[in-house]
Structures are given as C-alpha cells and as structure tokens.
Amino acid sequence: MATNSSNSNSVNIAGLPTAQIATNTDLFILETQNGTQTIQFQDLNVVKTDAAGNATVVGDITGTNAFFSNVETTTLRVDQIYSNDQLADSKSFGYYNRFQVTNGIIISSDYTTGSPEYITLLNLYKTLSANSSQNYKKVYEYNGVAVIPATAPVSPLLNIGGFPVNSSGTSIGNSIGNSASYASYFTLTPFHDGNVSYSASLWTPVLSAFRYYPGTGSGDDYMTFCVGQSAVNNQNALRIGVRLLYFYN
C-alpha cells in the first residue's frame, strides 16, 4: 500500500520551530545506507559550537595548516617559530650581547667586542684603576738592624735586594736608589740597651756610603749602606733599627 497524505502523518520540517542550540540528547535524522536512522548530537563527528559560535574541541586536532587571528594557550610546543617569515634563532648556551628581534622573537644573536656596555665598563675600569693607583698604593717595607761596633763611627755594610716592580715594570729599588732624597725613605731608631747611656737628643744616626747597584737583569738590583754616628764616643756596640718604607703603584 502506498503511503500518502490520507493514510499517514506527515510533517513539513520547514514549518518546525528553530532550535537555538543543540544539546547532547537532541536527535538528528539521517538517511544512511542502512535506511532512515537517528543519531544523538553528542555522537556527531563535528566541532560543537555554542549559540555565540564559540567552539570547544575535546581531544586532539591534527592537520597541515591552520590560520588564526589570535591564539591563547596554556602550553605551546613547537619545533620551529617564525616571525614575518624569519626563523627564530637556535644556538647553544653562550654569552651574546647583540640581537635582532622581530615581533618579540629573537631572529639572530652574536657577541661583539666593543659594544656600548663594553665601552662603558672599560672606561669605568680605567677610571677606577687610575683612582685606585693614586689612592691605594702598594707598600714596600724593609726592617733590619745595623750594629755600630764599640768605638767605631759606622756599622758594617747592609745589603737590601729583591725589590718588586711598579706598574710600569721598573724596580722600586731603582726609584729609591736614584732619588736625590733616598734618605727620606729610611727611619733609623737607636735601641735603648741597658749597658749604653746616651741622650737621643745629642745625636742622630745617619746613612752613609749609600750606593745603588742596578744589576744586569730583572730582580737582581740591590743597594748597600752603612749607619753611622759621630757625636758619641761609644764604649759599647750600638744597635740601630733600620726601616725602609716606600709607597708605589
């Protein structure tokens, strides 16, 4: 028996109300190879959108190319990043101070000597070095004892060597030995031995026979000198503390 309007219930779907949104339990009618069937909305293999057109995908999306105006994500894992068709830079760990950046992506990086911060630090170092060489000088100090024998006017020769060099590579022995005021670097202090009676105000020990020997190589220069006195007719040996103090940079 043929189906017609008189012996069946027929509905024109064009006259049905319009649904605002499909929910999981809603049904679709499909004409399949196995006949007319229904399928629930949650079982459709499509991207689901809400009334505003926002889509939510549960699972993975794969494909070849994707184009978005804006992407917000919690985690982004990529093999390569491009910015304006420029591949982002990939280098091993190192120090770099020169970069090319496109839209927040580092395109290239390298290290350049003479960069602005290098020049700034170099000038600062030079300034600090110049100031420290004047304000914080090195000290060379020698301490010894000269013994003037009884009834003798001077002590035996004393020998000082092994001088350090200054920032110019010159031995400070050369600076002391060739100075017209070399004696000003020395301090001579008599010991108050119990068997010697004298007044320090009556005499002052002095350097004598001072001579500087430049040597023939680095570090082999030295100087010799005696300590003498003439105002006291000492009946016992006199001991004189000898201190050489020299500041240099």
Say what the pLDDT of residue 57 is.
76
For the chain, which residues make up each domain, given as ranges? 138-194+202-248
Give every residue of the chain whose pLDDT is below 70, as ranges: 1-10, 45-46, 48, 130-135, 192-203, 230-234
pLDDT on residue 33: 92
154 Cβ neighbours under 8 A, 6+ residues apart: 148, 208, 209, 226, 227, 228, 229
- Over residues 78-117, the pLDDT tens digits come to 888 888 888 888 888 787 777 888 888 888 888 777 777 7
DSSP one-letter string for 195-221: T----GGG---EEEEEEEE--SSTT--
pLDDT in tens, 12-24: 778 888 888 888 8
173 pairs with which residues across the strands?
A: none
Provide the whole-model pTM.
0.46
pLDDT of residue 184: 95
Q: What was the pLDDT predicted at 5? A: 56
pLDDT number for residue 120: 85
pLDDT for position 212? 97
12 sits in the region (left: phi over 0; alpha: psi -120 to 50; else beta) called: beta
Contacts with 165 (C-beta within 8 Å, 6 or more apart), sequence order: 171, 172, 218
Specify the pLDDT at position 56: 76
Q: Tens digits of per-residue pLDDT, 214-223?
A: 988 778 999 9
Instruction: Look at strands 186-190 and 238-248 and give their pairing.
Output: antiparallel
Residue 140: per-residue pLDDT: 95
- What Rg do the C-alpha atoms of the chain give, in angstroms? 50
